[in-house]
């Protein structure tokens, strides 16, 4: 792995307190947003799957592009859902209402796991995500040079965390409406970030995210911040157009 140098960032907010708020509020608010359904092209095959792990069974939602062929290598998108009480296939509304409608044109295999641990930064969840990537790469013709990690809210925190811990594994990362990391080493990864955050987010202050992005940029990371107006933190499906705007950027990265 390309771990060259680590930096510790100091941000002016209480990460533990904010994560507790996320865990308590996101379950109710974001689950209500699941009633907002975006149009999903029917040519993708969506399946509910399980993966046996040493620490139990991982549930995940798998979306396969049409005409899947072993003659081609496909990108892989890992989607980490928002926080809350995990019910079976809790990941599916997030995948179906945001990630698949927004990133459909990338033609990627998509996998959205249910969080098995206390959060996506939990070691149990980290190991589960890595095991899921290995499983999908074993079962399907995945191009390991085109793996994108994205997450919303608590999933965005996991996106930052996983890229910093495994900087050579992901070719692009898109954290959405998430709390930036605090008290962890920021690795000089080559993975570029496309950060999406609402200026009206009532749960995670936009200025905190902007300050963290600016710190990353100062230290040489490739991080772009894209803001949206007028959306609540709980309106996750409304972020589809903002996430879709990242498609040309991702394509340009993968063409290199």
pLDDT-based confidence at 24, cuts 50/70/90?
very low
Residue 68 falls within a domain, yes or no? yes
Residue 227 falls within a domain, yes or no? yes
Residue 223 falls within a domain, yes or no? yes
Residue that wins the pLDDT comparison between 246 and 36: 246
pLDDT-based confidence at 198, cuts 50/70/90?
very high
Interatomic CA distance for residues 93 and 82, integer angstroms? 10
What is the residue whose two structure tokens read 């396969």? 64
20: its two tokens:
């507790």
Give the CATH number, domain containing residue 170: 3.40.50.1820
Residue 14 falls within a domain, yes or no? no
Interatomic CA distance for residues 224 and 202, integer angstroms? 21
Residue 22 falls within a domain, yes or no? no
Residue 221 falls within a domain, yes or no? yes
pLDDT-based confidence at 97, cuts 50/70/90?
very high
Average pLDDT (195-203) is 96
Q: Rounded to 5 degrees, what angle do the CA atoms 157, 168, 113 make?
A: 45
Interatomic CA distance for residues 183 and 178, integer angstroms? 16
Query: How many domains is the chain partitioned into structurally?
Result: 1
140-157 in b/e form (b: 16+ CB < 10 A) is bebbeebbbbbbbbbbbb
- From first CA to last CA, the distance across the chain in angstroms is 20
Residue 241 falls within a domain, yes or no? yes
Strand residue runs (E) in 31-91: 45-53, 56-64, 74-80
For the chain, what percent of residues have pLDDT higher than 70? 81
State the DSSP code for 106: G
Residue 178, pLDDT > 90, answer yes
Phi, psi for residue 199 in degrees, rounded to 5: -70, -20
Q: pLDDT by residue (tens digit) across 129-159?
A: 999 999 999 999 999 999 999 999 999 999 9
**Which residues, including other chains, have CB under 8 Å from residue 245's CB and lie 6 or more apart?**
226
Residue 13 falls within a domain, yes or no? no
Range of the domain at 93: 45-255
Residue 86: the pLDDT is: 72
Give the predicted TM-score (pTM) of the model: 0.85
């Amino acid at each position: 792995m390309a771990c060259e140098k680590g930096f510790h960032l100091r941000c002016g907010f209480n990460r533990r307190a904010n994560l507790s708020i996320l865990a308590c509020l996101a379950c109710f608010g974001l689950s209500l947003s699941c009633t907002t359904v975006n149009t999903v092209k029917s040519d993708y095959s969506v399946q509910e799957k399980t993966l046996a792990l040493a620490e139990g069974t991982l549930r995940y939602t798998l979306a396969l592009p049409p005409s899947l062929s072993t003659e081609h290598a496909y990108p892989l998108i890992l989607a980490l859902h928002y926080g809350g009480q995990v019910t079976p296939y809790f990941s599916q509304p997030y995948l179906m209402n945001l990630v698949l409608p927004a990133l459909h044109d990338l033609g990627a295999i998509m996998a959205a796991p249910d969080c098995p641990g206390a959060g996506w930064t939990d070691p149990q969840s980290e190991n589960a995500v890595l095991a899921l990537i290995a499983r999908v790469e074993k079962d399907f013709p995945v191009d390991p040079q085109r793996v994108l990690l994205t997450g919303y809210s608590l999933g965005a925190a996991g996106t930052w965390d996983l890229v910093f811990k495994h900087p050579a594994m992901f070719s692009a990362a898109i954290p959405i409406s998430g709390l930036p990391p605090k008290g962890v080493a920021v690795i000089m990864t080559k993975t570029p970030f496309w950060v999406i955050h609402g200026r009206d987010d009532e749960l995670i202050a936009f200025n905190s995210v902007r300050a963290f992005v600016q710190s990353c940029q100062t230290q040489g990371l490739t991080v772009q911040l894209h803001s949206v107006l007028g959306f609540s933190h709980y309106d996750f499906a409304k972020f589809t157009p903002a996430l879709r705007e990242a498609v040309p950027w991702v394509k340009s990265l993968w063409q290199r």
